[in-house]
Chain A
Amino acid sequence: MSPTPTTATTALDRTTWSRPPVFFTHPAARYGFWFALAAYLVWSTGTLNIDWARTAQGLPRAGDMLARMFPPDFSRSELLIKGVLESLQMAFAASFIGMILAITLGLAAASNLAPRPVYLVARSLIVLSRTFHEVIIAIFFVKIVGFGPLAGLLTLIVASVSFISKMIAEDIENMNMGQVEAVRATGASFPKLLLYAVQPQILPRYLGVCIYRLDANIRHSTVVGIVGAGGIGMTLSATFKRYDYDFSLAILLTIIALVFIGEVFSTWVRSRLR
């Protein structure tokens, strides 16, 4: 990135140094890149609707906000606990339902097991649901089943199914077909083939992916509430509307703790699965 000083380069030449620069080895290319970047910055910031006067107030406002955030207000613990619990419950239930539904979709999306039309339909479903952000999916579920945790639960289920099934499908496509052929040659039916040749090959990674998804669901469960789909996010977004910043901070700290615990747990379980 930064042009290397010549003195240091000679110093490097005498050492074990081996990796050549990866990008922009030619000076012209390097200057071209910086020029293009500058041009893009000018163009994009010019196009954006930015209220510079309002932006200028940002720093004092941020200071004011921080001042109001401290000390965080944990006194409304009942509301806090209820929201967190709801988020957690959505995450647990969605992960469980998702990991079961994903088995079918994952099988259907594996090109080496599923018939062509089934494969195409399954793949399109996965691509479609993975393209749209959880919050977009959440708002549609809010429109369909109304405000509340059901919409959030359904959102997380959709996200989990598409994520886990994509991983399952990839694993199945990469599995050793010789083992499958051997079990098929014993006269095993398709379900037995799944039990004896497919499941053993993909199970450890499948479980790892499910645990990872639980972790991701805990993180996402805190945001679907922003469009009314239940959980602590609903409470959080209300505090911002009321300028109730000390409660906001309490919620944010709780979320950070929750996500941290989820991540540690998920890493621990996945390391034990190896």
Chain B
Amino acid sequence: MNTGAQSSGSYPDIWRRFSPAESVVRTLWLMLIVFTAIWSLRNLDITWEYFLDAHIQAGDLLTRMFPPDWGHTGQILDPLLETIHIATLGTIVSFAIAIPLAFLSARNTTPNWLTWFIGRFFLVSSRSINTIVWALVFVAIFGPGAMAGIWAIAFRSIGFMGKLIAEAIEEVDEGTIEAIEATGASRLKVLLIGVLPQVMPVIYGTTIYRWDINIRESTVLGFVGAGGIGIELYSSINLFRWPEVAVMLIAVLLVVIVSEFVSATARQKIT
């Protein structure tokens, strides 16, 4: 019933997915990646013996955390609130700075190439430096505490928000801008009336999104003294008070998950 292939012998019986040249290129890429990884691993100054009993250490650490010291809950509420405040205030500050900077960095709204370059430079620098590095800087300036944290959050967020907002500005409908310019409106008015309302949804969306990232970031600011729950967490870890650490980790988990949920819901409402 099944005759299968009625082989006539006239069809090629070899087929390769890649030509020899393609195969060579693919192999070279693969080798490059693997060798980079091996080179990296070999050159890292790692004492692999520490790695061998890591699972024992980790298990030990976990068992020491239980049961969590629930009595500690009362003491972490204030730092937790501070963490949220730092994130929120930092986001508000960066909101205020990022918008003008975004207009400066968007090709279609920046006055000239120099202002564009300056705007871009600030945005890139802001994004390249991690929040916690910014915190090092601001602790040196303002001393330890929430103030340093707020500015650290703000300075890292400016670049993030500014970049996304500038991209939105560059996509703004040119027709609207020209129409308003035709009415003889000043440059500032054009920006405020023609451009700003069009990018407002992006601005709100970005701000809310960044806020929930900032909540997560502000949980570690305390490691360098910039306020929030991180201070207590860091000292409890260094004092090996693992049951307290457990409570704080659970608290952080809850706050981050709830803020992520709030942020996602709010953004869904906008779009």
Question: Do A and B truly interact?
Answer: yes
Indicate if the CB atoms of A139 and B85 lie closer than 8 Å: no
Q: Smallest distance from the beta carbon of A260 to chain B beta carbons, Å?
A: 6
Interface size, chain B (Cβ < 8 Å): 77
Q: Given contacts A12-B193, A133-B219, are A226 and B44 in contact (CB under 8 A)? A: no
Q: With CB as the reference atom, state the residue of chain B lying closest to A139.
A: B237
Q: Smallest distance from the beta carbon of B222 to chain A beta carbons, Å?
A: 10
Indicate if the CB atoms of A51 and B143 lie closer than 8 Å: yes
Q: Chain A interface mostly helix, strand, loop or mixed?
A: helix
Task: Tell me the chain B residues, 39-71 only, with Cβ under 8 Å from chain A.
Answer: 39-41, 43-48, 50-51, 54, 57-58, 61
- The listed residue (B47, B140, B257) touching A65 by CB distance below 8 A is B140
Size band of the interface chain A makes with B: 35 or more
Q: With CB as the reference atom, state the residue of chain B lying closest to A20.
A: B197
Q: Smallest distance from the beta carbon of A114 to chain B beta carbons, Å?
A: 22
Q: Tell me, in angstroms, the Cα distance from A88 to B41 when the chains sit together.
A: 11
Q: Given contacts A12-B180, A145-B57, A237-B224, are A92 and B133 in contact (CB under 8 A)? A: no
Indicate if the CB atoms of B130 and A223 lie closer than 8 Å: yes
How would residues 186 to 220 of chain B score, 1 for a CB under 8 Å from any chain A CB and 0 otherwise?
00010011001110110110000000000011011
Q: Tell me, in angstroms, the Cα distance from A154 to B48 when the chains sit together.
A: 12
Residues of chain A at the chain B interface (Cβ within 8 Å): 1-2, 4-5, 8, 11-12, 14-17, 19, 21-23, 37, 40-41, 44-45, 47-51, 54-55, 57-58, 61-62, 65, 85-86, 88-90, 92-93, 96-97, 127-128, 131-133, 135-136, 139-140, 143-146, 148-150, 153-154, 219-220, 222-223, 226-227, 230, 233, 236-237, 240, 243, 245, 252, 255-256, 259-260
Query: Contacts of B183 on A, CB cut-off 8 Å?
Result: 8, 11
- The listed residue (B37, B50, B200, B249) touching A150 by CB distance below 8 A is B50
Indicate if the CB atoms of B204 and A22 lie closer than 8 Å: yes
